[in-house]
Amino acid sequence: MELEKISDNYRGLNLTPYTLWGILNHTKTEYDSCDNKFEEKDVCGLRRSLKKCNGFDKMFSLEFYNKYKEDIKDQEHWTVEALVVRQADEIAQ
């Protein structure tokens, strides 16, 4: 499946249904909000010097993968590797 075309010179990503299944089943499509703001201000508490927070939780998202959910069938596009990763994730939590 070819994903978004960003320019005439670039055709986009040609991901297999197996790769898309892995992304959709092992990745959040929305990021959690950052809890590292300094003293309730829009300042990043993770940097050495206090600089404005980039607000990554609002800038980045994987929601564009959601439109492929109907095309990717669980019964057809799973892999043994994906099942092992799922179990490893459960153990790690």
**Among 32, 30, 29, which residue's Cα sits nearest to residue 69?**
29
Q: By three-state DSSP, how is residue 26 classified?
A: helix
Domain that holds residue 53: 27-92
Task: Determine the pLDDT at residue 5.
Answer: 63
Q: What is the pTM of this model?
A: 0.51
Residue 49 lies in a domain: yes
Task: Determine the pLDDT at residue 78.
Answer: 79
Q: How many CB atoms lie within 10 A of CB 37?
A: 15
Q: How many domains does the chain have?
A: 1
- Cα angle 81, 87, 89 (rounded to 5 degrees) comes to 100
pLDDT in tens, 16-69: 888 888 888 777 767 666 666 666 667 776 666 666 676 655 556 677 777 777
Residue 18 lies in a domain: no
